[in-house]
A and B are shown apart, each in its own frame.
Chain A
Amino acid sequence: MVPYAGWDMPVEYSGITNEHLAVRTRAGVFDVSHMGEIEIAGKNALAAVQLISSNDASLLQTGQAQYAALTTPDGTFVDDMLVYRMAPSHFMLVVNAANTAKDFAWISEQIKTIGDVAAIDSSSRYALIAVQGPAAREILQPLATIDLSDIGYYHFGHGEVAAARATISRTGYTGEDGYEIFVPPNVADRLWQAILDSGRSADVLPCGLGARDTLRLEAAMRLYGNDIDETTTVLEAGLGWTIGWNKGDFIGRSRLLEQKERGSARKLVGFEMIDRAIARQGYPVLSGGHPVGTVTSGTQTPFLKKAIGMAYVPSALHAADTEIEIDVRGRVAKARVVKLPFYSRS
């Protein structure tokens, strides 16, 4: 167990490799109750979300979710988040545990002049259990009162799971199909057990933070604090697709527009090692022997069986197949820029 944003969380249950492969080939279950939930409701809820989020929330139907940046005036990240439209004038933001208090304070401050809208930190009302992998639906369906095949990707529905009132969202942080289930905390344990029981024949495995990190990295999903933070812009992070340029103004828009027109000096790229070495967060990136950037995430991935990573590098080094070097504890190891994601399910 490790302390993580005020929670004690397991890094692994049966081994990161085991757990990682279970999710890619069968299914894994994660307790991600540490994630924060901030709800925004009231007549002007949409206007409030449009102001603070990079993405265009007006495109969301009730029952639909989108990935977005919670932006600073500089177009960098207060946080990244999923925006759920619960009702026409009710949104729920799912944010990083370590940032929840900061996000809530930020959002409250930004929307206070709008009127007819309120934000609440409802994190303590939800436990969140994720079932991820190709067998996720067959494991979860017998426990659910609603037909899971009715829930499209990045959509959600309400029903009962293991006799508990639940919001079931077809989202995840692994690169696999799967579901994230919001339930009241007092039934989380029952739901967890029910999923393990239902998944026994599919050999579902409980998965910890370690596998969550290697899975998301293979899928090139950014991790706040590693790949994105208050010093990296949405465009530099390669997340321009989360920007709703046509929705009108939002915090950070003018800076992002400026950067879009001028081009960003650096960008987050994926790389794989050519030499036998593993790049890790914080290792310097070199080009022709000179430091040009820093590794933001890196590991040896269990499924692809390659040493991969992401790093911010100057624009001249963005193109796939560009050779770069990583300073691995004083030894220079060759790597090559590759297209993201490293892994995508077929």
Chain B
Amino acid sequence: MAYPADLKYTKDHEWMRVSGNEAEVGITDYAQEQLGDVVFVELPDVGRRVNAGESFGSIESVKAVSELFAPVSGEIIEVNPYLKDHPEAVNSKPHETWMVKLRLSDSNASGSLLDSAAYERLISA
């Protein structure tokens, strides 16, 4: 699967789609492939503030549980309600299935993340 050029990526295999001072956050195709069939996504309450690198939820597949880490600092302004009953969307459409929307504390913070070319190098290493 191609890694969209309009997304920013982390070494923890999250992606972020920034528009203005808001961003959607999800996990990458590589991450969902490693996890296998996703059966449960545990998301935070709206209004919670998270720091870059902080765990804001968890994602569970049949075989394992992984934490979700905030790519940058911000406030949770929305969680994806669709995931409650359709966690498998993370497997089928990883780069379209956002988990939370963040209001960014620093709208330039995404500059420190990887672009798609750098992310592809990371996972093929």
Contact = CB atoms under 8 A, between A and B. Distances in A.
Contacts of B61: 16
B33 to A, nearest CB: 10
A11 B63 contact: yes
B62 A329 contact: no
B36 A16 contact: yes
Q: Which 10 pairs, one residue from A and one from B, show the smallest C-beta to C-beta distance?
A: A300-B39, A17-B37, A16-B62, A278-B60, A210-B63, A15-B37, A16-B37, A278-B40, A16-B36, A299-B62
B108 interface: no
Interface string A210-239: 100010000000000000000000000000
A99 B76 CA distance: 49
A124 B65 CA distance: 36
B63 A16 contact: yes
Interface in A255-297: 276-278, 280
A302 interface: yes
A12 interface: yes
A18 B62 CA distance: 11
- The number of chain B residues touching the other chain, given as a range, is 10 to 19
B58 interface: yes
Interface of A: 11-12, 15-18, 20, 210, 214, 276-278, 280, 299-300, 302, 307, 329
Contact of A300 (B40, B42, B58): B40
Interface in B86-111: none
Given A12-B36, A18-B37, 17 more contacts: A12-B63, A15-B37, A16-B62, A16-B63, A17-B37, A17-B62, A210-B62, A276-B40, A277-B40, A278-B39, A278-B40, A278-B60, A278-B65, A299-B62, A302-B37, A302-B62, A329-B65
B65 A280 contact: yes
23 contacts: A11-B36, A11-B63, A15-B37, A16-B36, A16-B62, A17-B37, A17-B62, A20-B62, A210-B62, A210-B63, A214-B62, A276-B42, A277-B40, A278-B39, A278-B60, A278-B65, A280-B65, A299-B62, A300-B39, A300-B60, A302-B37, A329-B58, A329-B65
